[in-house]
Structure 1
Amino acid sequence: MIDDSARPGGSEDFIAALNAFYVSCNRPPYRKLAELSEQLSDLYGKRGLPVLSATAVFEVLAGRRKRLPSSAWVASFILCCQRRAWETGVLPVDPGIEALPSWQARLRAAHGPPAPRRGDRSSAACETAVPGGRAPSVPGARTPPDAETDPAVPLRLTPSHRAAIADYGEHGRELLDRAPTGEPDAVYRIAVLIGTDPARVPEAAALLIEAAAGGHPGALDLLDAGSGDLDHRHAAAHAYRLGEAAARTGSPATALAYYRAAVQGGRLDAAFKITEILQDAGTEAPASWLAPAGDHRNTEPPPHNT
């Protein structure tokens, strides 16, 4: 057994240890960990532990967070991984909360002075919780698709998706040309356009996960905005910001596409932007561009959960 309290500090070492532990638990699906985290108080009597989101787990393991996770987050993650490992037969018993003190000591050490670089950071597997666990050869539960060793995965859109995006004109067709390569920014933008339709939120969420896996910050932010559950109003807020950015750079056709999507998601202030652009062009906006989908007329997204 490792004396974890004596381990050298360093955030990289700690993230590598979390990854090694995750691998030794047989890489439980992020969504499954999120589901288990909702049951922790019933399973272990530990109240006040945060509910995990699939996106946050990905970001932490991939080292994309600027700061180390909180002690409560680490406790949730460890308990959920152990529980899933026990449920799937990877562990003969669930160690439960017994493993938490060593992980909290490791986290405290990680907040201390950086440790000297070592040749093999991946040796920090969590033998305390999962005997015989193997460390990953490369830290990170998933290597982003833009890495040299893992090219982008081509994106396959359904005919319905393609028709919906093509309806946004020249910019929509441009996105459809870029999407087959799996380019994260194109996938993110397509997800935003689709996600402002309340009826297509699950489809947009699946696309956002693909973009997030490629490290796109907008996709990660949009997924996290609803604690893992995409909301069409959050998508509308992103569409509005994309429209504003396009307008500032002198791309009115692109701005129109995103303002239209923002209106669909309930951002009625985007309708004024559409009217202004088309008035300058000497045309009028079709009525369908100025009406939100269904009765979703909120002009502001729900609060961002942090």
Structure 2
Amino acid sequence: MRTRFIEQLNDLHKSAGQPSYARMNQLSVELGVPRELTKSTISDILAGKRLRPPEWEWVSSFVKVCETQAVRAELSPVLVPLHEWERRWREAQAAQGDAEPSSAAQERRRRYVGEYGRTGARLLRGADEGNTEACFQLAVILLADDHAEEAEQWLSQATRAGHRGASLLHGNPLARSEAIELAFRYGSAYEAEGPAKRPIAAFFYGLAARCGHLEATAKLRGETPSALLDLGTVAPAAPSLGGVPALVAFG
């Protein structure tokens, strides 16, 4: 059922003239739809890379953007009413066993928001939708924060979906040290994406710094790592996990 629903989303995209993902993102911002359609999320969902159907807010936003693009391009697709899209979405959700969030899932969402703020909420939403990179980043956060058992659950899910980094961390006795280094590297990856991602970069730098990572602490303080090391403020970071591929920012 999930595969069929993804096919229907792809058919809608084609009927709108297959606009670029950049154009889709631009239109979602212009129209003020419930969920901004980021290029990476559109790509993952339409390629079937996510294990679960997207959230309804994303689906309704996608439908609105495609229909608007079709009208502006003077195309004449067969428009499906929004209530019919909702029915299709609910069928896909029910087939996945996710028709309604459980109380445990709601509690976990509240806890992640409380402990990890907007970054935790964003990654949890992506992981719940089946995004393997979001699963891996959550595992990195939880490992660094010394929640190894919970982190293993996300690592297992990402490993089953073929995430190389997750397979290397899964069951690794040095996983926490590696996760602290990865948190710093994620901070760098998000920082490189520009001002819009700086709050996420600051989150990962802060996480690594709290765990004693020298370079992360220097980043947050605006000082050089060597100066902090000379002062004996922070211990040197553990070596990075060499087998992990280049990090990918999520969202």
Question: Relative to total residues, which structure has the larger helix share, 1 or 2?
Answer: 2
Same fold by TM-score greater than 0.5: no
Report the TM-score, using the length of structure 2 for normalisation. 0.45
Report the TM-score, using the length of structure 1 for normalisation. 0.38
CA radius of gyration, larger in: 1
